[in-house]
C-alpha cells in the first residue's frame, strides 16, 4: 500500500512551501493595491495598471521562462524566486517608513513579484512528477489545487483583516516573510536530475527550444483539446465577472460585502471540484470525467446573466459555484494529464506555453468585457461570457480525450 503523499518528506516540503507561497501571493494581491490607494492616493487607472502588471509579465516572459526552467536546477530556482520576491516586497515597508514610497516603486515591485511567481509556479509544476511518480499525479494535484483554492479565499480574507488592523505596509511585510518561510521549506526538497541538451545561454538555442515546446503541444491532439477548452473558459470568466461591481453594487444597490461573497463562491467551487477530481478520474478515467463534468456544469452558466434582486442573486451564485466546480476538476485532471504525457525535459516549456496562452485568454476576456460593457451594457458582457462558457465542453467532446477511460488516460492519444 502506498504511503499518503504528505508522509513523503520531499513532497510534504514542496506542498508546505507552495502553500505558504500561495498565501503570500494572495496577501499581496490585496495589500499592494490598498497601499497604493491609502498611502499614495492612487486613482482607478493607477490601481488598474498595478493589477495588470503581473498578467502582462506572464505574457511577456511566458515562453522564455519555460525554456529556461527546463535548463536550470528547479529547486534552486524556486528558492531564488522566493528570495527575490521577499527582497522586492521588503523594499515597500522600508520606503514607506522613510517617506519615499511612490507608485513607480510599486509598479517595479509588482512586476518583479509577477516574474518571480511565474518562474516559481512553472518550476513547481515541473518538479512534481519527479518527486512522486506520474502514476500519483492526480492525487497530488488534487491536494495542490484544493489547497491553492483555499489559500485564494483565506489569503485575501487574512489580507483584509491585516490591512484593517495593522495597516497595508505590515501586510506587505508579512507577505515578504511568507516567501522566506517558503524558501526554508524548499531546502528539504531533493534536486531532480537536470536534462542537458544544448548550451544554456545561446539565443539561437533558446529560440529552438521554445519552438520545440510549442510544436510538442500543437502536435498532441489531447493537449490541443485541453488548451482550446481552457482558453474558452478563461475567456468567459472575466466576461462574466469583471463588470460585476458595476452591476451588483452600482446598478442593483447591494453593499460591497455581497459582491465579495459572490466572488468568494468561485474559491469554494474550485475547492469542491478539486476535492472530487481524484474520485471522478478513478471512476471514469481522466478523459471521460472531464467530458462528463464539463457537459453537466458548463450550461448552467446561462443562468448567470439573469443575476438580479432576490432569488436571482442566489440562482446566479449557485450557477457560479457549479461553473467553478468544473474549473477545480479540470485544474486537477487536465494538469495531471499534461504532466503525464509530457517528457521530463519538456515539462517547463509545456507548462509555461500553456500558462501563456491561458493567461492571454483571461486578458482578452477582460478587454472584451470592458468594450462590450461600454457599447451594449453590463448584461451583454455577461451573456457573451455565459454562451462561451456553456459551449466550452465541445473541444473535449470532439477529441480523442473523451473516449479515454481509466486505462488509457495517460496515453498520448
Question: Per the structure block, which three cell numbers stand in for 70?
Answer: 527546463
Question: Per the structure block, which three cell numbers stand in for 200?
Answer: 544554456
Nearest to 399 by CA among 278, 227, 273, 264: 227
Q: How many helices (H) and strands (E) does the chain have?
A: 15, 0
Question: Per the structure block, which three cell numbers stand in for 309?
Answer: 434582486
Indicate the SS3 state at residue 407.
coil
User: The whole model's pTM is what?
Assistant: 0.69
Q: Which residue has the cell 515539462?
A: 347
Average pLDDT of 396-400?
82
| Separation of alpha carbons 333 and 324, rounded Å | 14
Average pLDDT of 392-398?
87
Average pLDDT of 36-53?
71
Indicate whether 160 pLDDT > 80. no
Structural contact between residues 338 and 358, judged by C-beta atoms closer than 8 angstroms: no
Average pLDDT, the chain: 79
Structural contact between residues 389 and 365, judged by C-beta atoms closer than 8 angstroms: no
End-to-end CA, the chain: 30
pLDDT digit string (tens) for 188-198?
777 766 554 44
Average pLDDT of 108-118?
88
Nearest to 381 by CA among 393, 367, 391, 392: 367
Nearest to 326 by CA among 297, 292, 355, 285: 297
| Separation of alpha carbons 233 and 298, rounded Å | 9
Average pLDDT of 221-243?
86
| Separation of alpha carbons 384 and 239, rounded Å | 7
Indicate the SS3 state at residue 193.
coil
Indicate whether 285 pLDDT > 80. yes
Indicate the SS3 state at residue 3.
coil
| C-alpha R_g of the chain | 21
Q: Which residue has the cell 544544448?
A: 198
Amino acid at each position: 500500500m502506498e504511503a499518503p503523499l504528505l508522509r513523503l518528506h520531499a513532497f510534504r516540503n514542496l506542498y508546505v512551501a507552495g502553500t505558504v507561497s500561495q498565501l503570500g501571493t494572495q496577501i499581496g494581491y490585496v495589500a499592494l493595491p490598498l497601499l497604493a490607494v491609502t498611502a499614495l492616493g492612487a486613482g482607478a487607472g493607477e490601481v488598474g495598471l498595478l493589477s495588470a502588471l503581473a498578467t502582462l509579465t506572464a505574457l511577456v516572459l511566458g515562453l522564455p521562462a519555460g525554456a529556461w526552467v527546463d535548463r536550470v536546477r528547479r529547486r534552486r530556482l524556486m528558492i531564488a524566486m522566493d528570495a527575490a520576491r521577499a527582497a522586492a516586497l521588503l523594499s515597500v515597508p522600508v520606503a514607506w517608513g522613510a517617506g519615499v514610497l511612490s507608485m513607480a516603486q510599486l509598479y517595479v515591485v509588482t512586476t518583479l513579484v509577477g516574474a518571480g511567481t511565474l518562474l516559481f509556479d512553472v518550476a513547481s509544476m515541473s518538479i512534481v512528477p519527479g518527486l512522486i511518480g506520474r502514476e500519483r499525479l492526480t492525487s497530488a494535484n488534487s491536494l495542490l489545487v484544493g489547497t491553492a483554492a483555499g489559500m485564494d479565499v483565506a489569503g485575501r480574507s487574512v489580507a483584509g483583516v491585516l490591512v484593517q488592523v495593522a495597516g497595508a505596509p505590515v501586510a506587505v511585510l508579512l507577505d515578504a516573510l511568507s516567501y522566506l518561510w517558503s524558501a526554508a521549506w524548499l531546502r528539504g526538497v531533493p534536486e531532480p536530475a537536470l536534462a542537458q541538451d544544448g548550451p544554456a545561454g545561446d539565443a539561437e538555442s533558446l529560440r529552438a527550444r521554445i519552438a520545440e515546446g510549442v510544436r510538442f503541444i500543437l502536435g498532441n491532439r489531447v493537449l490541443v483539446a485541453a488548451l482550446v477548452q481552457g482558453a474558452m473558459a478563461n475567456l468567459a470568466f472575466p466576461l462574466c465577472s469583471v463588470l460585476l461591481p458595476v452591476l451588483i453594487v452600482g446598478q442593483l444597490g447591494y453593499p460591497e460585502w455581497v459582491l465579495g461573497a459572490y466572488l468568494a463562491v468561485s474559491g469554494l467551487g474550485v475547492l469542491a471540484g478539486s476535492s472530487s477530481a481524484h474520485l471522478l478520474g478513478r471512476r471514469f478515467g481522466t478523459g471521460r470525467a472531464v467530458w462528463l463534468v464539463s457537459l453537466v456544469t458548463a450550461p448552467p452558466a446561462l443562468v448567470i446573466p439573469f443575476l438580479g434582486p432576490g432569488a436571482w442573486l442566489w440562482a446566479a451564485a449557485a450557477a457560479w459555484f457549479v461553473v467553478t466546480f468544473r474549473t477545480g476538476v479540470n485544474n486537477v485532471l487536465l494538469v495531471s494529464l499534461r504532466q503525464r504525457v509530457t517528457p521530463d525535459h519538456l515539462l517547463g516549456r509545456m507548462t509555461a506555453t500553456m500558462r501563456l496562452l491561458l493567461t492571454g485568454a483571461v486578458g482578452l476576456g477582460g478587454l472584451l468585457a470592458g468594450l462590450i460593457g461600454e457599447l451594449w451594457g453590463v448584461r451583454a458582457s455577461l451573456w457573451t461570457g455565459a454562451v462561451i462558457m456553456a459551449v466550452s465542453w465541445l473541444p473535449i467532446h470532439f477529441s480523442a480525450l473523451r473516449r479515454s477511460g481509466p486505462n488509457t488516460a495517460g496515453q498520448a492519444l
